[in-house]
Amino acid sequence: MPLDYLSELENNSIFIIREAYRRIKNVAMLWSMGKDSTTLLWLIRKAFLGNIPFPVIHIDTGYKFSEIYEFRDKFAAEWGLNLVIARNLTAINNGVGPQGSKFDCCNRLKTEALKLAIEQYNLQGLYLAIRRDEHGIRAKERAFSSRTSDFVWDYLGQPMEIWSQYNTRLRGKEHIRIHPMLAWREIDVWEYIRKENLPVVPLYFAKGKKRYRSIGCSCCCSPVTSKAGNLNSIIKELIKAKVSERSGRAQDKESTYTMQKLRALGYM
């Protein structure tokens, strides 16, 4: 019997998850508590029969929604995660924040915090839940995407990935970003969440005719007009949606040029 579309996506993601774990030493996953990364967390748990045999890292800027922290603590305990909270304490103590440049804030509090975590735990691979349809710059990614020791992403010189042949060779202190969900769409994620009955941060559901389609730091996210208060309503809304998923994000950070510059420096 042929697999349905969601089962095919799930199987392909689990194959990439297992292949990366087999080939790459010292891996970890980045968990933002958003719908995508929570779905990836679930897929990894499925891949390893209920366990996650490596650390789960939260890059904490200190500016996340309170609902995100509550969700993190609840499910990290419930699912028995080896949770690592990574912060760039030097930047935080020096007052780096969203009141200045959004670019500098993201780079210092997220990218540099990640660099510190990679160095501290000697990581060679990182699982991320990015999707090609989420942003044009992310559409340039491969399932296995290397970063140099300086965190630079050579998006113009990436190897081809044909017939599930992936490049996992590392040079020096490089690391590989592993993207098991590149082929998923926003609506696929929500349909999978409904199918698997996954928990999500309540900010995604409408309250007072507003909800968040994309969540992160509270200072960089704005709600969209919506009446979707449950999973079925969100899926119906997305079928007709003509507005970008990340339209509620800070636009000075989300522009194509700025996002490409951030990602070239190592941003997620």
**CA-to-CA distance for 263 and 268, rounded, in angstroms?**
6
Q: Which residues pair with 127 in a beta bridge?
A: 29, 178
- DSSP letter string, 216-267: SBGGGB--EE----SHHHHHHHHHH--S-TTTTB-HHHHSHHHHHHHHHTT-
The encoded tokens of residue 247 equal 């339209």
Same domain as 219, residue 108: no
**CA-to-CA distance for 70 and 33, rounded, in angstroms?**
10
In a domain, 28, yes or no: yes
Same domain as 218, residue 181: no
**CA-to-CA distance for 214 and 208, rounded, in angstroms?**
17
Outline where DSSP puts E strands in the chain.
27-30, 56-59, 83-86, 125-127, 144-147, 175-178, 210-211, 224-225
Same domain as 131, residue 216: no
Same domain as 258, residue 230: no
Spell out the residues 6+ positions from residue 99 whose beta carbon is closer than 8 angstroms to its own.
Answer: none
Quick one: average pLDDT of 34-43? 98
pLDDT in tens, 212-239: 998 988 888 889 999 999 999 999 999 9
Same domain as 131, residue 219: no
Same domain as 67, residue 36: yes
Same domain as 100, residue 76: yes
* Lowest mean pLDDT segment, chosen from 79-88, 118-127, 159-168, 191-200: 159-168
Spell out the residues 6+ positions from residue 258 whose beta carbon is closer than 8 angstroms to its own.
Answer: 103, 252
In a domain, 36, yes or no: yes
In a domain, 225, yes or no: yes
Same domain as 16, residue 109: yes
What is the domain extent for residue 232? 202-249
Quote the pLDDT of residue 120. 94
Same domain as 120, residue 30: yes
pLDDT in tens, 6-15: 999 999 999 9
Q: CATH no. for residue 67? A: 3.40.50.620
pLDDT at 254 over 50: no
Q: Which residues pair with 144 in a beta bridge?
A: 178
In a domain, 259, yes or no: yes
Same domain as 53, residue 32: yes
Same domain as 215, residue 88: no
Residue-averaged pLDDT of the chain? 86
**CA-to-CA distance for 251 and 102, rounded, in angstroms?**
9
pLDDT at 156 over 80: no
Name which residue leads in pLDDT, 171 or 16.
Answer: 16
Same domain as 222, residue 179: no
Q: Count how many domains the chain has.
A: 2
In a domain, 219, yes or no: yes
In a domain, 194, yes or no: no
In a domain, 125, yes or no: yes
In a domain, 193, yes or no: no
